Structure 1
Amino acid sequence: MKSFSKINLSKLSILTSIISASQFIRSDFPSDLVILDVSNKVKEAKSYISSEIEPSQKLKKLLDLFYKNWKFGGASGIYKLSDVLWVDHVLKTGKGTAISLGIILLHIAKELNLPLYPVAFPTQLILRADGIDKKNLLINPFNGDILDQHTLEVWLKGNISPMAKLYENDLCKAESITIILKMLNTLKSALMEEKNMELALNVSNLLLQINPNDPYEMRDRGLIHAHLDCNHVALKDLIYFVEHCPEDPISEIIKVQIHSIEQKKIILH
């Protein structure tokens, strides 16, 4: 794998960063086709909203185009989670998650100079449109619905804790790198769940290029290596995690895993 860390993520859009990352993870990722598809959608969107002057009307038309005309939205039935995360699949099928759909919509909005920003809400990515009709709108990228405070509080109570409260900083604009890391971590978890360990390992290695020596990423890479029977490398990563996070409750479970791998090595010898 080439060095991803040399790419200046701060100068790229979130979507462009994810396209670059996907090239490192999947040898068959069709970057040129994805870039062409997105470019065509930007052109179509510019034409579609060109008759409007007010940002609020431009945004409304963009949401109509994205969710009604192009029919982007959530997947239903039986599907692989990774398929609704890979942006090439999402562009082809129109089916995605809040984060994959949000990243595509953010890119198009940015190209149209619309004030749309990512928010790393505790339960999912949401989008914030600033200064629309003198107020800030919150949008669910899963379906384009406008979100109110009550809905967000219900999400928090249902997903985090019945005692959870909505705070102002829950709705702050997120840095691009935060969304990129969230997307890659979600993809890694999906690939691990699907037992696609080779690709999961590529994601883990990529994340370690962005945050070298992150003990939690070392742990995940160690677990992936263990699944691939690369026990020598797995031990190194898992021991690193235990040494750097001794107070973490997971450390006790990881110690059991380390012992199991060491026993395997003894039996093999």
Structure 2
Amino acid sequence: MDHRIALPEWHTLARLDDASLPLLDTALLIAHDEYPDLDPGLYDAQVRAHAAGMRAEIDAIEHPAVKMQAINRHLFGELGYAGDHDQYYDPRNSYINEVFERRRGNPISLAMVQMEVARRLGVPLDGVSFPGHFLVRLPVDDGVLVMDPFNRGRPLDVDELRQRARPHLGGDAPDDEALSQILNPASHRAILVRVLRNLHGVYGDAGDWERATRCADRVLKLSPNDPDALRDRGLGYLHIGHASGARADLAQYLQRNPHARDAMKVRMRLVELGGGGRVN
């Protein structure tokens, strides 16, 4: 059977609002950069099959939290999805096609699998851009159920959430209001940008500047006004020898962010490029 479906095009994504931006299809578009022969319909079919395999069970359960327990049991127990604790920074953990193939991933890629399957079963699961590891959340009667997709969908209580957030907040645990803000649902755009930032970090640390630059460019396709991505693409261009591109991006970054913490370092890079570090 031919599973092929059309993926969105990069140049169209900035015009879509967050609600219209397709999560799975855009994640597959990110993967298509690295795997140009992938068949996106094959992975859509896998999500449909995962959901179909437990639909009768889920439909027979009334409470959303219990539905989610059954979904997690099926995904992580029966199908074998798991967090890649041994090779966390393997780029394959960020490419959704590899996650479906290997049944291994990082927190955000496993969350996307959870979300896609749960939503097709009528369970409104959202992502959470939690500091550190990405999480998922489900509305329940008395608030939200927060789960860790990297650890088989394990529920997290308020005390553990505060402790997890503490190292990323200067050592202070968030109060109720701050924690509530942190736990707001992440938009599809925010999720996909975080996937690309993860890949940018992995490739940059490995000195693979062509791929790192591509990731920064893709962030700008999703979010054209993202200043960090503009700087990262400019620095990437510098590494791969595209001087005019580096000059244009870094100058624009300084124009938009003249008081950025790294403004002096960026100006020095512009001086090296013969741009004088001036911003008009």
Q: Shorter-chain TM-score: which interval? A: 0.7 to 0.9
Native 8 Å contact 1:4 1:24 kept in 2: no
| Alpha-carbon distance change, 189 to 28 in structure 1, aligned in 2, over 3 angstroms | farther
1:142 counterpart SS class? helix
Aligned to 2:186: 174
Q: Quick one: which of 3, 6, 13 aligns to 2:12?
A: 6
Native 8 Å contact 1:42 1:108 kept in 2: yes
1:210 and 2:239 are equivalent in the alignment: no
Aligned to 1:124: 133
| Alpha-carbon distance change, 35 to 151 in structure 1, aligned in 2, over 3 angstroms | same
Aligned to 1:63: 72
1:41 and 2:55 are equivalent in the alignment: no
Alpha-carbon deviation of 1:252?
1.0
Output the CA distance in 2 between the equivalents of 1:175 and 1:80: 24
Output the CA distance in 2 between the equivalents of 1:42 and 1:73: 18
| Alpha-carbon distance change, 215 to 12 in structure 1, aligned in 2, over 3 angstroms | closer
Which digits, 9 at most, give the CA deviation of each residue in 1:10-36, with x for residues without a partner?
A: 335422221233335642444233223
1:58 counterpart SS class? helix
Alpha-carbon deviation of 1:150?
0.7
Aligned to 1:248: 260
| Alpha-carbon distance change, 68 to 206 in structure 1, aligned in 2, over 3 angstroms | same
Q: Quick one: which of 248, 251, 261 aligns to 1:239?
A: 251
Output the CA distance in 1 between the equivalents of 2:256 and 2:20: 32
1:141 and 2:149 are equivalent in the alignment: yes
Q: TM-score, normalised by structure 1?
A: 0.86
Native 8 Å contact 1:73 1:142 kept in 2: yes
Task: Tell me how large the CA RMSD over aligned residues is.
Answer: 2.4
| Alpha-carbon distance change, 18 to 114 in structure 1, aligned in 2, over 3 angstroms | same
2:10 counterpart SS class? coil
Which digits, 9 at most, give the CA deviation of each residue in 1:217-265, with x for residues without a partner?
A: 22111111111111221122112212321211211111222223339xx
Query: In the alignment, residue 112 of structure 1 is paired with which amino acid?
Result: L
Output the CA distance in 1 between the equivalents of 2:27 and 2:230: 21
Unaligned residue ranges in structure 1 (runs of 5+): 264-269
Output the CA distance in 1 between the equivalents of 2:245 and 2:133: 33
Native 8 Å contact 2:216 2:229 kept in 1: yes
Native 8 Å contact 1:25 1:203 kept in 2: no
2:274 counterpart SS class? helix
Alpha-carbon deviation of 1:118?
1.6
Alpha-carbon deviation of 1:81?
3.1
Alpha-carbon deviation of 1:51?
4.4
Q: TM-score, normalised by structure 2?
A: 0.83
2:174 counterpart SS class? coil
Q: Quick one: which of 20, 27, 31 aligns to 2:36?
A: 27
Query: In the alignment, residue 91 of structure 1 is paired with which amino acid?
Result: F
- Once the two structures are superposed, the pairs formed by residues 43-192 of structure 1 within 5 Å of their partners are 43-78=52-87, 80-131=89-140, 134-143=142-151, 144-166=153-175, 167=178, 168-192=180-204
| Alpha-carbon distance change, 199 to 39 in structure 1, aligned in 2, over 3 angstroms | farther
Percent of matched pairs sharing the same residue: 21
Output the CA distance in 2 between the equivalents of 1:212 and 1:77: 35
* Greater displacement, 98-107 / 228-237: 228-237
| Alpha-carbon distance change, 76 to 128 in structure 1, aligned in 2, over 3 angstroms | closer
